[in-house]
Structure 1
Amino acid sequence: MASIHRRYTTLILDLGDVLFRWSPKTETAIPPRQLKDILSSVTWFEYERGRLSQEACYERCAEEFKIEASVIAEAFKQARGSLRPNEEFIALIRDLRREMHGDLTVLALSNISLPDYEYIMSLSSDWTTVFDRVFPSALVGERKPHLGCYRKVISEMNLEPQTTVFVDDKLDNVASARSLGMHGIVFDNQANVFRQLRNIFGDPIRRGQEYLRGHAGKLESSTDNGLIFEENFTQLIIYELTQDRTLISLSECPRTWNFFRGEPLFSETFPDDVDTTSVALTVLQPDRALVNSVLDEMLEYVDADGIMQTYFDRSRPRMDPFVCVNVLSLFYENGRGHELPRTLDWVYEVLLHRAYHGGSRYYLSPDCFLFFMSRLLKRADDPAVQARLRPLFVERVNERVGAAGDSMDLAFRILAAASVGVQCPRDLERLTAGQCDDGGWDLCWFYVFGSTGVKAGNRGLTTALAVTAIQTAIGRPPSPSPSAASSSFRPSSPYKFLGISRPASPIRFGDLLRPWRKMSRSNLKSQ
């Protein structure tokens, strides 16, 4: 199925301080600060552009910084000797290539002198094999952040900037890449960058499903004070979302349902509730006669205002609009929604006046209310109910598009919006970017235990919601949305991309070409 977003197909990486780690500290007479000044000098920039030899560069720096050329040479020899490939990053690139099934082009673009480039090429590592091309500044003839450096790569590789991700440890270099339409990532924290790259190039649906299957039967809820507990409600929602019974654990409830599956958290006993019961009977769809008998019993817990109460316990008079929506879903699915007219009126008033903002006694998310409303509209086949609720629901959904929220809020919102044909591209981008390294999504607070104020959530629920939302929207992280002008932009010198098998070492510019490169160039000329 086609993505509603442009798919990224190219990754450009810096080498120094990204794919290679090195320490600027040296035991020579050059202090670290002065070493940094040398690296930031015009002379050094010319050296990295390939316009000065190493000897000429060191001699100019010696004169400029009043240091012996031999001392400079020794300092950089030691610094060069400390360079080590970032094997974790190399392994990640291999993983991303596998996940993209050959559809990922990986390039390197680095400000590096020719001697330093020759040195890293000689290291006993197979780092070069993860790249399709390497662009050292000394052979490109320009360095980052100058735009000509990037445009050389774009033209040479016939790239679409909007499908390209650029990673560099310097913000200036990333800013230039972004200005040309690339998705820029500053390499400030390896774990954070790895997460971003997995979320951009990995398959979020597959990774999320793997997380759920890997935790099947163990997707338990937890409170904000770290207490893990067993309950039915979240399990039922996960089942509704995934249709995979092996993922969840449920109590054996022959008639009405209890929220808790194990021991209650705050008391020795806890009554069954209409919320869990409504979701269970909606999702599991037991015998119709049983369902109708439960509906008859539920009607006994409607208060004097015609509002359905939360518990099968008259000593606990509680009302919650979120709960009422789920009750109405069950009644309408069984053709009995007309028996709760005043409960429906109240839900309408809550939607009309946005009373769901800020949550309710038991639920925290306004987007959750809209998600529950989407379930109701799906089940209410009464034209009068649809005419009354649907236009207002669409209006309220549109109001939430782009609003703040955690991953669970975003997933609820995307699913609610999708039910009425509303797209949330930026919310989808944020949701996809929130995927964790293990494939799941973070724990988000789903509900609150009434007056206790204790919040609870479930990573399995957040993950099931996110996977279903992404599946429903058929989306991936979007590229920067191009304007008409940027969409029509093409490099001034068009190049036809010709498929070339990846060599054992990277392609290089200039006169110092590997023998295989010379062969490739001659082959290209003949085509």
Structure 2
Amino acid sequence: MASNIKALVFDLGGVLLEWDRRSTTVLSPSQFLTIMNSTAWHDLDRGILTVKDACKNFSTIINVEPSVIESALDEAQKSLTINAPLVQTIHDIKSQNPDIKLYVMSNISKEHYKIIRNLDLPWSIFDSIFASGVEGMRKPDLCFFRHVIKHTGVDASQTVMIDDTVENICAARSLGMYGILVDDEASKTGTTLLNLLQDPLPRAQAFLESNARNHHCVVENHKDVVLKDNFAQLMIWELTGDENIIYLKWPSGKVHGAVNGHTNGHNGTSISSDVKNGLWNYFYEEPILASRDFPPDADTTSTAYVSIPSEYLFKVADVELVLDKMAKNIDSDGIMQTYFADDRPRTTPEVCCNILRVFYRFGYGSDPRIRKTGEWVVNCLKNDACSNGNRHYSTPESFLYFVARLHTESSPSPFSKELELVKEKLEERLNVPSNPLSLALRIFACQLVGISEELYRKDLQTLLALQDRDGGWPAGHFCCIGKTGARIGNRGLTTALVARILQKEREGI
């Protein structure tokens, strides 16, 4: 177990048990809510009032006959069902961590507690059950929490409270307990709890390996579209160093790591003098949501040359030919362009970052042909040009990530001092809500440029809480299709980023 948690405390209603609010047909939702917030209900919870006596009190509050209210409470009890996914998660946790203690702590009357004990919950798995009607106290009373902490013998800091009511979670946290509010699918099924208890790194690595050569991109609002690209695969290779989990189609048409799992590496034996063999296309297969004659681009090409080991690249094309092609592919301002096509005049700041990375990687950092491109990147950074993304990238983190890469890989350079501004820009983005992939790019960029772990700690906690049950992270998005603006993400890329973040954390880098 990755944490020092020794006890889990579960609520019943809304957590282990679910009830259908529509089942109480004799009372309106507002009437039900009114009586649940009354002091008479609190006394019912504490065992001070019986159900019958409480219903008499409720009758004076909502002007409904006591027998009708009692019938409504009975209907609510009969509608209770077991939260099977969470129960299965609890069994999994107990089997993996046999020493962990499990408890129930619930606001429930004596009579209703007797009824629900007949439900097919795995009662024996719990070490103790604290029912408010039996104990004479209720949540969020601090005395009830102190009572539970005392009787479990587990320190509050090593105890997790899982509850569906904000005020109960607040009370638990005020005493030092860790609180999980059950308010979404992840918390309802126990995924959030698993993420707290289990080491996320081996789960992430297992996800990457078990889905090898199936780390396809997804397109927002196009659920049926499977986008197979070279670009995300190259980024995953750079992050993981593992060529066995990705697939590529080389410019020559040869395939590396077929999607069905068969590996067909590049077997060329000599450097090609044809520059076309060094220009990469974004798409692995036929273009999707784009024109059929989609040309090779400087972004994918640059990423290939900074991601793939030299024993592969030097068998493809002479890098000097590729750099020369990029240097000549400029707009009227002297800035290197995105596509190797006369009919697509595009300049993109993120792409320029990656082009510059290639020039520095191969010892051409002082090449005068890159000066205007470098100056433009610096100006985009200074003036927050990408604060809303742009035609090809969907978030500001995409630009900041590639700038961070450039900054760490091009020092010393004529732009080194000015690129240090990326630290300030990243700090301004900390704790700003974003999608999972964008958030991962932000945190890894912070690590690259040496921002203190304390500053991005909250973002990292947010990101780790998003790990899915299979060990991977949601796809999120970071780039987009220029023609339509449809945003693109990739679960494998998000997961590879988080794995690198965790590795760097543990290495103290």
Q: TM-score surpassing 0.5?
A: yes
In structure 2, relative to structure 1, the CA distance for the partners of 1:28 and 1:473 (3 Å cut) is closer
Asked if 1:435 is matched to 2:467, the reply is yes
Aligned residue among 239, 242, 245 for 1:241: 239
Question: Which one of 85, 89, 104 corresponds to residue 88 of structure 1?
Answer: 85
Partner residue in 1 for 2:382: 352
- Alignment of 1:262 onto 2:285: yes
Other-structure match for 1:415: 444
Code of the aligned partner of 1:418: Q
CA distance in 1, matches of 2:192, 2:39: 34
1:8-19 mapped onto 2 (5 Å cutoff): 8-19=5-16
CA contact (8 A) 1:113 1:136 kept: yes
Tell me, in whole angstroms, the C-alpha distance in 2 between the residues paired with 1:169 and 1:222. Answer: 33
Moved more, 68-77 or 267-276: 68-77
Q: Cα offset for 1:171?
A: 3.9
Query: Are 1:130 and 2:125 matched, yes or no?
Result: yes
| Structure 1 segment 7-406 matched on structure 2, within 5 A | 8-21=5-18, 45-46=42-43, 48-50=45-47, 58=52, 85-98=82-95, 101-102=97-98, 104-114=100-110, 116-118=112-114, 120-121=116-117, 123=118, 125=120, 127-188=122-183, 192-194=187-189, 195-226=191-222, 227-253=225-251, 254-265=277-288, 266-286=290-310, 287=313, 290-303=318-331, 305-339=333-367, 340-382=370-412, 385-390=415-420, 392-406=421-435
Residues 143 and 246 from structure 1, CA distance in 2 versus in 1: closer, same or farther, beyond 3 angstroms? same
Q: Secondary structure at the residue paired with 1:145? A: coil
2:217–2:228 contact (8 Å) kept in structure 1 = yes
Percent identical among aligned pairs is 37
Opposite residue 91 of structure 2, the aligned amino acid is R
Q: Per-residue displacement from partner, 1:375-432 (whole Å, max 9, x unpaired)?
A: 2233224265434423x22222212212232111111100000112223112112222
Contact 1:322 1:360 in 2 (8 A): no
1-side partners of 2:68 and 2:330: how far apart?
88
CA-based RMSD of the aligned residues comes to 3.8
Secondary structure at 2:377 match in 1 = helix
Please tell me the residue identity of whatever aligns with 2:374: L
Letter paired with 1:272? P
Comparing 307-316 and 242-251, the one that deviates more: 307-316
Counterpart-to-counterpart distance in 1, 2:182 and 2:58: 32
TM-score (norm 2): 0.78
Q: Give the deviation of 1:373 after TM superposition.
A: 1.6
Provide Cα deviations, 1:307-344, integer angstroms capped at 9, x if missing partner: 22222234433211111110111111111111122222
Give the CA deviation at 1:78: 7.9
Change over 3 Å in CA distance of 1:79–1:213 after alignment to 2 = same
Q: 1:460 to 1:105 in 2, by over 3 A?
A: same
- For residue 271 of structure 2, what is the aligned residue in structure 1? none
Distance change (3 Å), C-alpha of 1:360 and 1:88: closer
Q: Which runs of 5+ in 2 are unaligned?
A: 252-276
**Pairwise CA distance, 1:136:** 2.2
Give the number of the structure whose alpha-carbon radius of gyration is greater. Answer: 1
Contact 1:161–1:182 under 8 Å retained in 2: yes
Pick closer, same or farther for the CA change 1:273–1:155 going to 2, 3 Å.
same
Aligned equivalents of 1:84 and 1:451: distance in 2?
49
Q: TM-score scaled to structure 1, two decimals?
A: 0.75
- 1:58-106 Cα shifts (integer Å, max 9, x gaps): 468669859999999998788767655443322121223345x346432
The 1:18–1:387 alpha-carbon spacing in structure 2 relative to 1, beyond 3 Å, is: closer
SS in 2 for 1:338: coil
For these two proteins, the number of residue pairs brought into alignment is 466
User: Any idea what SS the aligned residue of 1:272 has?
Assistant: coil
Q: How does 1:449-488 map to 2 (within 5 A)?
A: 449-473=481-505
- Contact (CA 8 Å) 2:6, 2:154: kept in 1 or not? no
